[in-house]
Structure 1
Amino acid sequence: MARALHADVVVVGFGAAGACAALEAADAGAEVVVLDRFGGGGATAASGGVVYAGGGTAQQRAAGVSDTVEAMHAYLRAEVGDAVDDRTLRRFCAESADQIRWLEQQGVPFDSSLCPYKTSYPSNRYYLYYSGSEASGAFRGTAPPAPRGHRAKGRGTSGKVLFAALAGAMRRRGITVLTETRVRDLVLDESGRATGVDCERLTGRPARVHRVLSRFAVKPGLYVPAMSRLLHGRAARIERRRAEPLRVHASRAVVLAAGGFIANREMVRRHAPAYRGGLPLGTHGDDGTGIRLGQAAGGATGKLDRVSAWRFLTPPSALLGGVLVDRSGRRVCDESRYGAEIGRVLVEEHGGAGWLLVDEPTRRQAARQLRSQSLWFQQLQARYLLATAVTGRTVADVARKAGIDPAGLRATVDEHNAALRAGTADPVGKPDDFRRPLACGPFALLDVSVRPRPAFPCPMLTLGGLLVDEDTGQVRTESGGLVPGLYAAGRTAVGLCSNSYVSGLSLADCVFSGRRAGQHAAIDNNENTF
């Protein structure tokens, strides 16, 4: 017979969303048990640790940045689209500064050092930056731009710092966390209410070996997919052979916060076939388990076709002076757009193919900026791009060598340079801050196409999930009702970033939706039904 545990609230998944749900539920007086298939952290610990926040945070004010809730809302309204109701978005923006304060109370460190250049992710000297497309041409006039990327203060990719602080806050509250515990099924009573979960749990030496294998499957396995698959395969074999059954009862509610499904090839192939072949950004726990558990209980899904594919052109910032073209030699988009939007346009409109054309002065400036503007992995990727670039004495020469239409590329360069000389707007809307003439050869075409390359991967994560009530986080059914006793948060649920991703918006949504789900799960009165 399976062992059994009892709690008021059971949280499935121990990343940012699960941790925030557990903290809020515990603070509301609930006894909480958190379950995670691996050692905890999920995609959060592997991330850059950036939280999108604005409207006048303490860090913005200390950096001399002027921002308002209205300006933040105006920008995000254009990015978020119909992913959430406007009322929800306004609440998120209004509560944004308080959310950063709450995270600081849990021990997450932030800093007001403002990055002076546009980048995909700042170096270890800066922790506040423009993390989206706020300053890009497409949003000029929408709202006054402001840097809203709040990076947890820590060297390297600082998601591990953010997660460690949340995990520490949970320990201080005495919240029970069971790692190396794989949730297999929801337990439903005769009315269809979620009353617990059935799991398989490792303990002792098998659990310790499983944790080591899983940790290395994430990093450095993130950069070496074959190694990741090998290590995860061994961890999965330990699960099959040594895990023991466990049932965890929930007297009030279950919260699903188990990440997305980028590690589930079959789900990606079914829902977003154009995005196959990217580097899964997350862990093997992002296999859709939370979504499938919710569906089995009658939960509805949305935005499963939305995937964020990151094709950043920076750092170094000098590369923004180039022009991004397709195989015909025509411009793809404003090069200053956020990397996920560039990735989307390349995948969905250009078959994943794209090249960045730069001239010799731009290339030399980029090389000089590498050390000061890049973390180690960014520097490796930029050096790879510059070293493998196709070069030519003239625009026509470099086009022919790269397999791009010479006439099309020549026309694009002429149009670009003519607009600069005339002082008129850029043909695709790039702000003047980033425009440079392309006139001094030799010229280089940097291949930024979205295709599998170990030295220049295209990270991807899924954005859709279970539909939830936006006031409570309770899972919705296809008919518009609610699944009793079941909540969802983070990338297991449709949320703020389910249409369009900018750096920090997913983690901000994990905090926002996780806290919401935890607060309401703790006071679930057993009356919300289908």
Structure 2
Amino acid sequence: MSDDSVRPVSESEISTWDLSVDVVVAGYGIAGVTAAVEAARAGADVLVLERSGGWGGAASMAGGFIYLGGGTPLQKACGFDDTVENMKTFMKAALGPAVDDAKIDAYCEGSVDHYNWLVEAGVPFKEEFWGEPGWEPAHDEGLMYSGGENAAPFAGVIPPAPRGHLPKMGNKKTGERGGGYMLMKPLVETAEKLGVKAEYDIRVLTVVVNDDGRVVGVVARRYGRTIAIRAHRGVVLAMGSFAFDEEMVRDYVPALLGRPGSAVDAHDGRAIRIGQALGAATAHMDAAEVAVHTSPQLMIRGILVNAHGQRFIAEDTYPGRIGQAILFHQKNEAFLILDHDAYDEALQSGSPLPQPDWVCESAGELEQEMGLPTGTLTSTVDVYNMHAEGGSDPLFFKNEKWVRPFGTPIAGFDLRGMTSGFPLGGLKTDTDSRVLHVSGEPIAGLFAAGRCTAGVCAGGYASGASLGDGSFFGRRAGVGAARG
């Protein structure tokens, strides 16, 4: 068969099975490892196939947040009250439009149990809250607001609670040994203790189906050799998003074209295409999370304006919402405006800060230096200052804690093109992680979890939603595959 083909192979075409196990898990990131652990605990003989040279995937490179709530022990230890209903209400409001209500209900109702499951599997959490804005804590604090829960438009109608749970880090090195690594390492060690086997440098090409259409194995390639692996009970796809498949990005989320992919290059969409070749349904393929590459410590203390010099969002909201607003609604063009005192204050947080692109003595001069239409930035600053004198922001409702008039000198930061992202859509699955056919029926023997699926995020995002969704529904995929 062609290396590029994702068409399923008939069992009758397999003359010899090179390997035979109960459950095959394709991918050794967060969804794969949790699926493997639960399948092994259910008594299955489990084999994980990973195309790279080691475990981890995108999860081990991530900041490490897991979105959890409803009253976890960590929330309580840090002095925060949260309820399952408040968590559901926030997620359905912030992660839409058109979220999968059943998935969010299951996720929120099982959140405390999932936290305890992670702890029992060896994932450590430091009982300390980080109250500053940012993409992640500067140190190893275990809890943080990670979805804009304490900002407009949510804070006024849903009691806010921090739900970003971050594993305790040792020798933190962002992108190499951060929270994601500290999440993955104990889970992999747990899998190994349970007897889970792993094969590396092996790429899953497609699945094998029997005469009834049931998935009974996979075809893979390793060092130029094609091999067939029998799965007596089930196959779990956990191979990541389509962030690094240019054709799929062009077809589904063209705004991400040319933007750096916040993933790993193994996220080539193959798992999704394998499912589609079986007739699987997909959902939210046009949705994406978007990061804006500047410090939230700066954004929250200033104002964000578009190419017309006008504000367009509350600057204290979740930075991912800001990134989405810039890329999808402002043609990837934005500027951050900040005065000298605010910059000095942000320096006290200890977070690394960029240098401004322009520094001037007045908003009018800055407007001219930045090339904005005459009168646009000055009128925006004048209106902002007028209301800030009274500590209010009637246009976007930024928390009064961060609202104050601009002084001088005043600086501008060029954020044009300063975004990157990854897709949120994928295979449609049910709450038991069964892959669904376009008819709505489960495809027998096939399960999926993680970023190759359409999870709890349907458009909006919160940091920790991917690792939380992947690990939670990865567990369910493992249980289902082990049952056969």
Pick one of 206, 214, 218 that aligns with 1:185. 206
1:138 pairs with 2:153: yes
Q: Is the 2:292–2:319 contact (alpha carbons within 8 Å) kept by the matching residues of 1? A: yes
1:162 to 1:423, Cα distance in 2 relative to 1, 3 A: closer
Q: Is the 1:313–1:339 contact (alpha carbons within 8 Å) kept by the matching residues of 2? A: no
Q: Distance in 2 between matches of 1:34 and 1:498?
A: 28
Q: Is the 2:391–2:403 contact (alpha carbons within 8 Å) kept by the matching residues of 1? A: no
User: In structure 2, the residue corresponding to 1:177 is in which secondary structure?
Assistant: strand
Pick one of 383, 386, 389 that aligns with 1:418. 386
- Report the alpha carbon displacement of residue 110 of structure 1 after superposing the two structures with TM: 0.9
Number of the residue aligned with 1:364: 344
Where do residues 395-414 of structure 1 align in structure 2 (5 Å cutoff)? 395-414=363-382
Encode CA deviations 1:216-260: one digit per residue, 9 max, x unaligned. Answer: xxxxxxxxxxxxxxxxxxxxxxxxxx3322211111111111010
User: In structure 2, the residue corresponding to 1:137 is in which secondary structure?
Assistant: coil
Number of the residue aligned with 1:444: 411
Encode CA deviations 1:343-371: one digit per residue, 9 max, x unaligned. Answer: 111111110000011112112222343xx
Q: Is the 2:98–2:458 contact (alpha carbons within 8 Å) kept by the matching residues of 1? A: yes
Q: Is the 1:2–1:245 contact (alpha carbons within 8 Å) kept by the matching residues of 2? A: no
User: In structure 2, the residue corresponding to 1:269 is in which secondary structure?
Assistant: helix
Structure 1 unaligned spans of 5+: 202-241, 452-457, 525-530
Q: Is the 1:325–1:356 contact (alpha carbons within 8 Å) kept by the matching residues of 2? A: yes
Where do residues 227-376 of structure 1 align in structure 2 (5 Å cutoff)? 242-311=223-292, 313-315=294-296, 317-369=297-349, 372=350, 374=351
Q: Identity of counterpart residues, as a percentage?
A: 36
Number of the residue aligned with 2:26: 12
- Report the alpha carbon displacement of residue 424 of structure 1 after superposing the two structures with TM: 4.1
Q: Is the 1:13–1:258 contact (alpha carbons within 8 Å) kept by the matching residues of 2? A: yes
Q: Which amino acid is the alignment partner of residue 258 of structure 2?
A: G
User: In structure 1, the residue corresponding to 2:88 is in which secondary structure?
Assistant: helix
- What TM-score does the superposition give when structure 2 sets the normalisation length? 0.92
Number of the residue aligned with 1:496: 456
Encode CA deviations 1:304-346: one digit per residue, 9 max, x unaligned. Answer: 111111116534x254120100111100200111121111111
Q: Distance in 2 between matches of 1:306 and 1:56?
A: 29
Q: Is the 1:83–1:494 contact (alpha carbons within 8 Å) kept by the matching residues of 2? A: no
Encode CA deviations 1:252-275: one digit per residue, 9 max, x unaligned. Answer: 111111010101111111111111
User: In structure 2, the residue corresponding to 1:310 is in which secondary structure?
Assistant: strand
- Report the alpha carbon displacement of residue 3 of structure 1 after superposing the two structures with TM: 6.0
The two structures, once aligned, show a CA RMSD in angstroms of 1.6
The answer to which of 505-514 and 64-73 deviates more is 64-73
Q: Is the 1:53–1:150 contact (alpha carbons within 8 Å) kept by the matching residues of 2? A: yes
User: In structure 2, the residue corresponding to 1:65 is in which secondary structure?
Assistant: coil
1:435 pairs with 2:403: yes
Moved beyond 4 Å, runs of 4+: none
Encode CA deviations 1:463-493: one digit per residue, 9 max, x unaligned. Answer: 00001122x2111111222211111111111
Number of the residue aligned with 2:444: 484
Q: Distance in 2 between matches of 1:335 and 1:518?
A: 41
1:266 to 1:87, Cα distance in 2 relative to 1, 3 A: closer
Encode CA deviations 1:95-123: one digit per residue, 9 max, x unaligned. Answer: 11111110111111111111131221111
Number of the residue aligned with 1:161: 182
Q: Is the 2:216–2:233 contact (alpha carbons within 8 Å) kept by the matching residues of 1? A: yes
Q: Distance in 2 between matches of 1:412 and 1:147?
A: 32
Q: Distance in 2 between matches of 1:437 and 1:90?
A: 43
Q: Distance in 1 between matches of 2:97 and 2:380?
A: 35
Q: Distance in 2 between matches of 1:139 and 1:163?
A: 32
Structure 2 unaligned spans of 5+: 1-14
Pick one of 413, 421, 438 that aligns with 1:460. 421
User: In structure 2, the residue corresponding to 1:416 is in which secondary structure?
Assistant: helix
User: In structure 2, the residue corresponding to 1:23 is in which secondary structure?
Assistant: helix
1:366 to 1:406, Cα distance in 2 relative to 1, 3 A: farther
Encode CA deviations 1:413-459: one digit per residue, 9 max, x unaligned. Answer: 11111112245443112111221211x222111112234xxxxxx33
User: In structure 2, the residue corresponding to 1:66 is in which secondary structure?
Assistant: coil
Q: Is the 1:8–1:32 contact (alpha carbons within 8 Å) kept by the matching residues of 2? A: yes
Q: Distance in 2 between matches of 1:169 and 1:25?
A: 12
Higher helix share: 1
Alignment coverage as a number of residue pairs: 463
Pick one of 37, 41, 50 that aligns with 1:36. 50
- Report the alpha carbon displacement of residue 191 of structure 1 after superposing the two structures with TM: 2.1
